[in-house]
Structure 1
Amino acid sequence: MEVATGTAHWLGAGCQRRSTDQHPSIHRGRGTTEASEGRTGQGSRARSRRGRASKRPASQARAEARGESDVDTMSATMAAPTFLDVLVDALDKAGAYNSQYQEPPAAILWPDEKGQWKGLTPELIRRGVPLYTLGEYEPEERRGPGYWLRCIVDRTIDPPHSERETPILYIPGFGREDVRADEKCPFELRPLAELKYRGVLWNQQNSRDWTVRAFLQNKDTGLGVDVDSDTATERGLIESLPELAHQTQQSLRGAAPIRAAFLDSLVIRDSDRSVLDWLANAEASRSGLRDRELAAFADICRDRYGFDPESADPIEAARLLGQRAAGWETTWARFVEAPHRYSGVVEALREARPEGPPTLFDHPDSWPQDNEDAERRLREGIAGLAKLDSETARTRILELEREHGMRRGWVWTKLGSSPLASVLEHLARLAETTRYPLAGTTIAGMAEAYSREGWRTDIAALDALSAAVGSDAAIVRDAVRSIYRPWLEAGATAFQGAYVAEPGSYVPMPPPTVEEGTCVMFADGLRYDTAMRLTEILNADGIDCTTKPGLAALPTVTATGKPSVSPSAGSVSVDSPRPEGDAVPVWPDSGTKVVATGLRDAIAAGAVQILEGDRLGEPSGRGWAEFGNIDASGHTRGVQFESAWGVELRRIADRIGALVQQGWRRIVVVTDHGWLLLPGGLPAAELPEHLTDFRKPRFALLKPGAPADDLPTFSWRWNRSVEFVGAPSICSFQGGAEYEHGGLSPQECVVPVVSVSGSGDTTQPTVVSHDWRGLRCIVTVDGAAVGTHLDIRTKAGDASSSLAGGGSEVTAEGSVALLVRDDEQEGAAAIIVILQADGRVAARASTIVGGA
């Protein structure tokens, strides 16, 4: 009692020790029924509870307070216990006692003379540990002076922990020997001194304070993990403690012996990214790191990358990056993955380039000025193609491809610094495909050859023209013309010859059969090559489709071709009178011209729904939709149309996707004609206007008795007795236009029929809403069946393009939270897809990662 009495005068009457019956919480503490082994070195509070199961663990009390099942909590913990799990368990066991012989401890005292555990106290509190720290008065942080801690223990103030839990008093800056009930006790600890007898000290079996190293290495209470004894590792244990605490015991044992480099990697999780951030902007990088992160970063730079960020010039480090010095290979790969993120690195590399010409072992792709020099040489090479004949120009293009093609794999292409190297890929493809003329001597043979391979030449030309930007566009157009025009001319001449030799072999395709559940979509001017690209887009969207060739009605203009592919084709007069001004047929009963509005009325009269605008119709019936502005854009913009056709195809694909999602069983895409596109304009052909009733760029109707001379003639689809003359080869009667149609050529006459398979399910799921919270997207869907999957992708139909780890199944509530793990994807365009059980895309919605 002497000690108790001596202690009491420091505490004051209001906080003096109360009897057991004044502490009802104590009776609800933890206990065991095992025999006591006695408590040594700590008065009547012995360490006999070590290693014994408590009657009611504190973890269970905390779980119940949160409304959780203790079984669930423990099973999750024991599956792969972390450093933190083991520590919490050790603190729990520290308060165990034998309820038959001992009173429960009033508190667990945790002395920490070196203050090594301070960085972990916030995490312990978040885990629900009833932890309180000696220090300045900050009750919201569970920190305060000794008198406040005594009030927490004695519950003279209302503490946040339950009465069933034993409070843990963390005492940084003081060791076990400082907790003493005599005059030598530090002033700050005097209110707590008597708890040495009423409570229990948590320390090692050898009575020393628990250090982080000791706890890691201890096989009984701690994790049993070997740790290096050097100073750097000692410092790293403390600096990395918040991250170290979340490592599993298994992973730590696998990394043993724990060394400084491993600990630094926990603090700086992505060292490559951190180094690139530092190279891009050293000052901003430093300001974004905490002290312990700065120290770890400096250690990593010295050990792995061979430079000291505290003294080195960033240009020196950039040179090591560009030279792919030892340890820098993955850093360069990381830069190549997302160069836009590290814009400052580009200029650092520019300044860091070694003097003199590159050697055999250098990396020319590292230095931006080397790529710029190569781009200038390529520009000169492409500019000179227009002066060459087609065969020499093709050879030169392929030589340039061998010299510069590799640069498309360089990082500078991603940054938009190699536009001509990108164009060259398409020019080389064009050079290869124009080596040989289109095969075949008959209409059927040439149509088959064009639909199999010929269209690839046309799409290569379009791709080359589309890729050219700015001032480079002019030289690319000249290059395309130099090798594309002769191939176009040869194909058109041969096709016209085949028609003249056997006119009856040219049979326009019939209109598609419109059954129940079928919607016919008319896309004006959908040339065969663009239809093949549309097929690729639809397949990437997860929509099943096929494309087959047919022959367009003649002449290849909308007035003739559109009625021919419509459901009302059979109602149009095949004895239409000689046209005036254009090849427009008539209705047989009224003799009125078949114009757009009248055609739609006739289609509707046949019990076919007209799906104007964004209407989706009733998918159990039949439908007719018109969509797309390809032909209008071509006439308006000429060769500059190359920048619009890709956008139009995307719009058409989205419209088809909406119809599929609506539940149409089958969508058939048809068109009226193709077209010719030649940079610099189609060559002119002479046909005096006074010899014609009317004259269009690619065909004309001669006056009766006017000679056709050597011009190819062909019969009208709506009256075979009416014959038109076509412009020879790829010429135009009104020369100069770059985009035209109406005549005889594979590009104008061989047209696609795109057949899309829908599900026929009118209860397709839909994306109702999606809300980004950082990189987590909360998606709500409607109509999703059991087994329906949700994902975020860059390509709807490509599972390998998932940004959300493959996605997850829709919950019963119709919502899913998807996490994009790569923060470098923030701001990128993506697609939310609803997938059926068989993996097919049932619905899609565009989004921007992280929100707009």
Structure 2
Amino acid sequence: MKLIDLLSQEVRASAEYNASAQLAPSVILWTDKLRQWESALPLLQAALPELVVFGDYQPEKRQGPAVWIKCVIENALPEFQLPEDKTPIIYLPGLERRDLRAISSCPVTLMPLAELQYRGCWWAYNSTGRDWTVNAFLTSANGGAGLDVARDEKTQQAMLRVLNEMLESDQAELESRRLEAADFNKLISNDPVRDLLTWMNDSRATRERWDQSRWQALCGICETEYHFSPERDGDITAAELLCQRQGIWETVWQRFVEGATHYPKLPALLMSVSYDLAADGESYPAINQSEEAALEAALRKLLDKQTSDVRQGILSLERQHADRRGWVWTQLGLSPLASVLEPLAVVANLTQNAFSGTMPEEMATQYRELYWQTDDAYLRVLAFSLPPALQELVQKLLHHVYTPWLDDITLSFQKLVQVKGYPGSGSTKEEVGNYQPAGELVFFVDGLRYDTAQRLVKRLQPLGNVSLKSSWAALPSVTATAKAAVTPVTDRITGRISDVDFEPSLKEDDKDFSAHYLKKFLAEKGWDYLSESETGNPTRNAWVQSGDIDTEGHVKGIKLAARIDTLLHEVTERVEELLAAGWTKIRIVTDHGWILTPEPMQKTDLPKHLTETRWGRCAVLKESASSGMLEVGWYWNPQVTIAMAPGARCFKAGQCYDHGGLSLQECLTPMIELVSTKSSRQKTVQAKVGDVRWMGLKCRIKVEADDANVVAVLRTHAGDASSEICNRKPVKEGKCTLMVEDDRYEQQTAVLVLLDEHDTVLAKTATLVGEE
């Protein structure tokens, strides 16, 4: 039983009487000279709806002067009614029993209530008739809770400070132990460690925000358990104790580590704590800051050294600073260099070997088995969010260790191609062969490099059986040439001497191959071309494209590295939508990779009079011209001669991102196959979203469907049923109305989804909630 229930029971019990000898009391009078119960009035009135308070006229609080109270208990106020089955209780704060008994001398304002003492009863402490104090109620075994409460001043003060919390506590939880100040303080500060850290995080703001009882509760707990006074010692003393982590403060430290992001200002306070040589940097942010400064100085010194020494220096520093990544300061972003040092060391280690081979395929095997990790780690270094000065430092270090390696392996690969030939010349591409008769979807991602494909594979693995293979890009490795080579309509495409900008043309006439003809030829083969909002029919084959990494690279340059994971997330979301729509096999293909250097690529001169057209990493040579560089034939017409920029260099100045050249990063392309392991019924129902109109938060739609069991719903993610923001409604006679109950979604992007009876996504379209 809660104490408030016990209190209510005892107050009401004071109105019990002998019906054979007495009349029922008209009221229960509750005097409280010390006003100890006054702070709990809202709680008391909630538990005792028959309780009214003597005081200023505030009827909304069931409080008023004597005349008003008399009217209330006599039911003379139609607008104010007390429960008929309960004896009215009149609470008299600041008054005692004798104030009413001395009728001739009591205040005029009180006189109307004096007569109630004769036809009412008192809630009084035993036969003495004294007021029930809070302590008396808690400790008395006769009419009280019978608890063991210490009588010292701190305990008594704490008891009154947490009166509301105490009354809402269970009697059983407070029995069988002596209650002292700390026990009462914990009732209002039920998580003292959290409160302590919250106060330390911003002591002034917290003190202003908390009420007096909560603040005093924390102070009491700190004095008894943490051995310091927030009021006398202040937050700096608490910071010193936290950094030292002695005794009970170790528990506080562990709580800080577990939820450090909830206390963003606390590290600045801890930074002011002085330390000695024996201090542990794990709990002293100033030590971590000093280590970061030393690491920066050491990295800057490496910039004046030879490449091999730079690599060894990075590896040595990694061994020195790796442990700091386990400190909480790294979690809070206060160790950026220690964090970026991890992938930087991977780059330094793997670039020690400028691998080669006897055949281009041998180099490709080595890259697939190990050295793709160099490029992956390199991109992770560039993706770190660092201050400009540190970003510049890291890019210079990468220029020392990564760029020479990229140049060396690319030159080696080009020499092998010059002697042995390009592996992708004239080969039948797996991307455009061996399709299922139906039910296969080809998903094109522009610029999906082999190392980024490894990241994508990890994201896709929870969705089904995933396999990763590799192929070779059509030369030159630019979108116009290489994308056409991985479409299912390559038999309709050719290349002519007159074609420009590496755009192939149609076999039947000299028109350029374009998106229009891709859609046209796919339709002639019985394939669907799906737009971004379509999920298609899984009983057919289809082509879809999304995740344009290449465009991001040309626009963002070196900042592409920070966008990779976001772009791959978008691809994964699209794949999930397609799987939810019933597709069971998805083949992800690409056209080419790319190279990205930490500083602009070295420019290689190629006289303009030798070229028909010149791109960054490749150029079409004029008939009979010779560039003195590696030359290859165009994939679509070998009679067109293309000069390749040597190594990791460029025919144009200022380029950090580019493709079209001859390197493993540009030409060794991934092909991912995903087969869903979830059994799903192939979709046969056809549905299409028609008109969508909003009236406030009500969405009215028109639907074209060939089945009666189609339902509509609004989601924030099309393939995620848990993201639905309204109730599902069936489509009847081609119409449906959806209602968004939660106005926080207003003006937010949502997806209108049509589902069949198996929750298969039939169609979807983006919309803006509440759009006018």
User: TM-score range, shorter-chain basis?
Assistant: 0.7 to 0.9
Q: Is the 8 A contact 1:668 1:754 kept in 2?
A: yes
Tell me whether 1:252 sits opposite 2:171 in the alignment: no
Which residue of structure 2 aligns with residue 458 of structure 1?
375
Partner SS, residue 432 of structure 2:
coil
Distance (whole Å) between structure 1 residues aligned to residue 401 and residue 648 of structure 2: 14
Q: 1 CA distance for matches of 2:729 and 2:155?
A: 53
- 5 Å matches for 1:651-666? 651-657=570-576, 659=578
AA aligned to 1:112 is D
Deviations 1:460-507 (A, max 9, x none): 111111214412222211211222234434543554566554756874
2:530 is the counterpart of 1:585: no
Distance change in 2, residues 1:192/1:736 (3 Å): closer
Match of 2:7 among 77, 87, 90: 87
1:732-811 to structure 2, matched below 5 A, reads 732-734=650-652, 737-755=655-673, 757=676, 767-768=714-715, 780-783=725-728
Cα deviation 1:196-228 (Å, max 9, x = unaligned): 454443345566543333444456755454333
Indicate which of 288, 304, 312 corresponds to 1:387.
Answer: 304
Name the CA distance, whole Å, in 2 between partners of 1:220 and 1:90: 10
Describe the superposition over 1:726-776 as per-residue Cα deviations: whole angstroms up to 9, x where unpaired: 444434455763222223332122323345659777879855589xxxxxx
Q: For 1:191-202, what aligned pairs fall within 5 Å after superposition?
A: 191-196=112-117, 198-202=119-123
Structure 2 letter corresponding to 1:118: E
Structure-2 residue corresponding to 1:525: 447
Query: What's the CA shift string for 1:400-456, capped at 9, x where partnerless?
Result: 223333444445445544332332222123234434556876555554553454322
Change (3 A) 1:715 1:233: same
Mapped contact 2:644–2:662 kept (Cα < 8 A): yes
Q: Identify the residue that residue 43 of structure 1 maps to in structure 2.
A: none
SS of alignment partner, residue 744 of structure 1: coil
- Pairing 1:171–2:123 present: no
**Which residues in structure 2 correspond to 1:108-119 (within 5 Å)?**
108-119=28-39
Residue range with higher mean Cα deviation, 558-567 or 479-488 = 479-488
Change (3 A) 1:505 1:441: farther
Equivalent positions of 1:228-377 (< 5 A) are: 228-253=150-175, 256-276=177-197, 278-279=199-200, 281-333=202-254, 345-354=266-275, 358-360=276-278, 362-365=279-282, 367-377=284-294
CA contact (8 A) 2:457 2:468 kept: no
Equivalent residue in structure 2 for 1:676, among 580, 586, 595: 595
Q: For residues 345 and 710 of structure 1, do their structure 2 counterparts lie closer, same or farther at Cα, with a shift above 3 Å needed?
A: closer
Residue of structure 1 equivalent to 2:704: none
Please point out which of 297, 314, 323 is paired with 1:397. 314
Answer yes or no: is the 8 Å Cα contact 2:8–2:48 preserved in 1. Answer: no
What displacement does 1:116 show?
2.4
Post-superposition Cα deviations, 1:302-359, rounded to whole Å, max 9, x if no partner, equal 33343333333543443333333554445445555666765664554444425xxx32
2:65 corresponds in structure 1 to: 145
CA distance in 1, matches of 2:181, 2:761: 49
Q: Which runs of 5+ in 1 are unaligned?
A: 1-80, 771-776, 786-812, 819-837, 847-852
Change (3 A) 1:734 1:144: closer
CA drift at 1:231: 2.1
- 2:397 is aligned, of 479, 483, 492, to 479
Equivalent residue, structure 1, for 2:754: none
Are 1:94 and 1:108, in contact at CA under 8 Å, matched by a contact in 2?
yes
Superposition deviation, residue 579 in structure 1: 6.1
Length-normalised TM-score, structure 2: 0.77
CA distance in 1, matches of 2:178, 2:222: 21
Task: Tell me, in whole angstroms, the C-alpha distance in 2 between the residues paired with 1:558 and 1:170.
Answer: 85
Counterpart code for 1:132? V
Q: Distance in 2 between matches of 1:460 and 1:624?
A: 32
Deviates more, 1:317-326 or 1:510-519: 510-519
CA shift at 1:525, angstroms?
A: 0.8
Distance in 1 (alpha carbons) for counterparts of 2:122 and 2:370: 84
Number of residue-to-residue matches in the alignment: 703
Give distance in 2, aligned partners of 1:530 and 1:200: 83
Matches within 5 A, 1:366-765: 367-413=284-330, 416-436=333-353, 446-467=363-384, 468-493=386-411, 495-496=413-414, 499=417, 500-501=419-420, 503=422, 507=427, 508-511=429-432, 513=435, 519-536=441-458, 546=466, 548-555=468-475, 556-573=477-494, 576-578=495-497, 580-612=499-531, 614=533, 622-657=541-576, 659=578, 667-683=586-602, 694-701=613-620, 711=630, 716-719=634-637, 724=642, 726-734=644-652, 737-755=655-673, 757=676
Contact 2:424–2:474 at 8 Å: present in 1 too?
no
Question: How high is the TM-score relative to the length of structure 1?
Answer: 0.71
- Structure 1: how far apart are the matches of 2:22 and 2:356? 101
1: CA distance, partners of 2:188 / 2:216: 9
Which one-letter code corresponds to 1:418 in the other structure?
S
Which runs of 5 or more structure 2 residues have no equivalent in the other structure? 686-709, 731-738, 745-757, 767-772
Which whole-Å CA distance do the structure 2 matches of 1:165 and 1:736 have between them?
88
Moved more, 407-416 or 378-387: 407-416
Give yes or no for contact 2:100–2:106 (8 Å, CA) kept in 1.
yes
* CA–CA separation in structure 1 for the residues paired with 2:168 and 2:236: 37
Contact 1:553 / 1:717 at 8 angstroms: preserved in 2? no
CA RMSD in angstroms, aligned pairs only? 4.4
Q: Out of 660-669 and 564-573, give the one that drifted further.
A: 660-669
Q: Do 1:554 and 1:561's aligned partners in 2 also have CA atoms closer than 8 Å?
A: yes
* 2:356–2:412 Cα contact (<8 Å) kept: no
Which is worse superposed, 113-122 or 312-321? 312-321
CA contact (8 A) 1:778 1:815 kept: no
**Could you say which residue in structure 2 is the equivalent of 1:62?**
none
1:548 to partner: Cα distance = 1.4
Paired with 1:705 and 1:171, the residues of 2 have a C-alpha distance of 112
The residue identity in structure 2 corresponding to 1:625 is V
Asked if structure 1 preserves the Cα contact closer than 8 Å seen for 2:4 and 2:47, the reply is no
Task: Report the CA distance shift for 1:308/1:561 in structure 2 as closer, same or farther (over 3 A).
Answer: same
Identical amino acids, percent of aligned pairs: 34
SS at match of 1:297: helix
Contact 1:305–1:326 (Cα < 8 Å) also in 2: no
- Is the contact made by 1:393 and 1:483 (CA closer than 8 Å) also made in structure 2? yes
Per-residue deviation, 1:398:
2.1
